[in-house]
Chains A and B, each alone.
Chain A
Amino acid sequence: MNNTTENYLVGIFDDEDILLHSVEGIREKGVKIHEVYTPFPVHGLDEVLGYTRSRLPIAAFLFGITGTILALTMQIWMLGFDWPMIIGGKNYVSLPPFIPVTFELTVLLSALGMVATFFIVSDMKPYKKPRSYDIRSTDDKHVMAIDLAANKLSKDDISRILKDNGASEVNEKNF
Chain B
Amino acid sequence: MQATSTLRESLITGGKTVRDVSEDISRQVEGKPTRLWWMAMGISLVFLMFGVYCLTTVLWEGIGMWGLNKTVGWAWDITNFVWWVGIGHAGTLISAILLLFRQKWRMSINRAAEAMTIFAVICAATFPLVHMGRLWLGFYWVLPLPNTWGSLWANFNSPLLWDVFAITTYFIVSLVFWYIGLIPDFAVIRDRAIRMGNNTRATIYNALSFGWDGAAKTWMRYESVALILAGLSTPLVLSVHTIVSFDFATSVVPGWHTTIFPPYFVAGAIFSGFAMVLTLLIVTRKVFKLEDYITIYHIELMNIVIIITGSIVGIAYITEFFVAWYAQVPAEYYAFYNRATGPYWWAYWSMMTCNVISPQLFWFKKIRTNIVSTFVLSIIVNIGMWFERFVIIVTSIHRDYLPSSWAMFYPTMYDVGEYLLTFGFFFTAFFLFAKFFPVINMAEVKSIIKSTSERKH
Contacts and interface: CB of A to CB of B under 8 A. Distances in A.
A41 B223 contact: yes
Interface string A113-130: 011001101111111111
B162 A41 contact: no
B413 interface: no
B180 interface: yes
Nearest to A39: B446
B162 A114 contact: no
A39 B195 contact: no
Contact of A111 (B22, B232, B447): B232
B443 A128 contact: no
Q: Which of A112, A119, A122, A126 has the most CB of B within 10 A?
A: A122
Given A83-B153, A128-B210, A135-B194, A51 B225 contact: no
Interface in A15-68: 15-17, 35-42, 45-46, 49, 51, 54, 56-57, 60
Q: Which of B184, B225, B235, B447 has the most CB of A within 10 A?
A: B225
A78 B146 CA distance: 10
Interface residues of A, number: 63
Contacts of B220: 41, 45-46, 51, 54
A63 B131 CA distance: 34
Contacts of B404: none
A45 B221 contact: no
Q: Which of B169, B173, B180, B207 has the most CB of A within 10 A?
A: B169
Interface in B6-30: 17-19, 22
Interface stretch (A2-10, A99-107, A152-160, A166-174): A99-107
A126 B191 contact: no
A139 B19 contact: yes
A83 B152 contact: yes
Contacts of A88: 157
Contacts of B236: 104, 107
B176 A140 contact: no
A56 B228 contact: yes
A125 B210 contact: yes
Nearest to A94: B157
Interface in A65-106: 74-75, 78-79, 82-83, 85, 87-88, 90, 97-98, 100-101, 103-105
Q: Is the interface of B mostly helix, strand, loop or mixed?
A: helix
A41 to B, nearest CB: 5
A79 B440 CA distance: 47
Contact of A118 (B169, B213, B225): B225
A36 B216 CA distance: 5
Interface in B208-243: 208, 210-225, 228-229, 232, 235-236, 239, 243
Nearest to A64: B232
A42 B236 CA distance: 29
A138 B26 CA distance: 12
A15 B455 CA distance: 14
Contact of A57 (B173, B192, B212, B224): B224
B72 to A, nearest CB: 24
Nearest to A79: B156
Given A41-B222, A139-B22, A130 B150 contact: no
A34 to B, nearest CB: 10
A152 B450 CA distance: 37
B166 interface: yes
Contacts of A46: 216-217, 219-220
B188 interface: yes
Interface string B134-167: 0000000000100000111111110101100110
Interface in B154-209: 154-157, 159, 161-162, 165-166, 168-169, 172-173, 176-177, 180, 183-184, 187-188, 190-192, 194-195, 206-208
A107 B213 contact: no
A126 B210 contact: yes
A54 to B, nearest CB: 4
A161 interface: no
Contacts of A104: 162, 165-166, 168-169, 236, 239
B446 A119 contact: no
Interface of A: 15-17, 35-42, 45-46, 49, 51, 54, 56-57, 60, 74-75, 78-79, 82-83, 85, 87-88, 90, 97-98, 100-101, 103-105, 107-108, 110-112, 114-115, 118-119, 121-132, 135-140
15 contacts: A38-B214, A40-B442, A41-B443, A60-B228, A82-B151, A87-B155, A88-B157, A101-B161, A103-B235, A103-B239, A111-B173, A111-B177, A114-B225, A129-B206, A138-B22
